[in-house]
């Protein structure tokens, strides 16, 4: 029991992202309201962003800005302790991914608005019923 607990707590960031991802997927699949589905979609994407953020992080690490000691003009690469700095690349990638997810959300909301103007409802089952009637 203790073993399992340690296993989970040792990698809690990954567990968290899986739980969030499942919440998002559940929202997208099970909810009937289109806006709720959109929120699910956003949670799903955020989970992946958090996953990327956590893989770049190091315990006790700081921003990768190298400070040159006073009086020096440069610092030799060997003198840099890479364990002290977090990996910035996944974070930079996620800036782009955030932009993508915002853009997707924007397009999706605009399309949902178009649906609302046509059907006066955002409940999926009602829309499907109307589509079948015709």
Partner 1 sequence: MMTTDNVFAVLLVVTPLVCAFFVMGLHWVDRRWCYPLAVIANGISFISAVEILISVVKHGTIHYRLGGWRPPIGIEYRIDLLNAVVLVIVSTVALVNLFASYNDISRELPEKKGTFYSLYLLFLTGLLGVVVTGDLFNLYVLLEITSLSAYSQIALGDVRRGPFASLNYIFIGVIGASFYLLGVGYIYIMTGSLNMADVAHLLTRLHYSQAIFVAFIFCMVGVWIKMALFPLHIWLPNAYTYAPTASGRVIAPLMTKVMVYVMIRLMFTVFGITYLFKVVHISQFVVWLASVAIIYGGLMALSQNNLKKMLTYIIVSEIGYMVGGAWLGNKLGLTGAILHIINDAFMTFALFLAAGNFAYRLGELTLDNFNDIFSKMPWTMAGFVVAGLSIIGVPPTCGFFSKWYLLLGAFAARQYFFFVALILSSLVNAILFFRIFEKGLFGGGGHHVSVRGEIQEAPVNMIICLGLISVGLVVLGLYAGDIVNTFIIPFIPQGLG
Instruction: List interacting residues with partner 1 (CB under 8 A).
Output: 25, 28, 34, 37, 41, 44-45, 48, 51-52, 55, 90, 93, 96-97, 100, 103-104, 107-108, 110-112, 114-115, 118, 127, 131, 134
> Is residue 107 helix, strand or coil?
helix
Are 42 and 27 contacting, i.e. CB atoms less than 8 angstroms apart? no
Are 39 and 105 contacting, i.e. CB atoms less than 8 angstroms apart? no
Report how far residue 67's alpha carbon sits from residue 72's, in angstroms, rounded to the nearest whole number. 10
Q: Shortest gap between Cβ of 72 and partner 1 (angstroms)?
A: 25
| Cβ nearer to partner 1, comparing 11 with 73 | 11
The residues near 70 (Cβ < 8 Å, ≥ 6 apart) are none
Q: Shortest gap between Cβ of 134 and partner 1 (angstroms)?
A: 7
| Cβ nearer to partner 1, comparing 78 with 131 | 131
């Amino acid at each position: 029991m203790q073993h399992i607990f340690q296993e989970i707590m040792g990698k809690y960031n990954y567990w968290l992202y899986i739980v969030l991802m499942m919440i998002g997927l559940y929202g997208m699949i099970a909810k009937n309201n289109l806006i709720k589905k959109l929120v699910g979609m956003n949670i799903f994407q955020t989970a992946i962003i958090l996953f990327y953020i956590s893989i770049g992080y190091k315990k006790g690490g700081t921003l990768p800005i190298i400070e040159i000691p006073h009086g020096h003009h440069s610092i030799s690469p060997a003198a840099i302790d890479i364990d002290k700095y977090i990996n910035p690349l996944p974070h930079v990638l996620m800036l782009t991914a955030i932009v993508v997810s915002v853009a997707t959300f924007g397009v999706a909301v605009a399309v949902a608005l178009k649906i609302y103007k046509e059907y006066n409802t955002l409940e999926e089952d009602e829309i499907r019923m109307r589509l079948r009637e015709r």
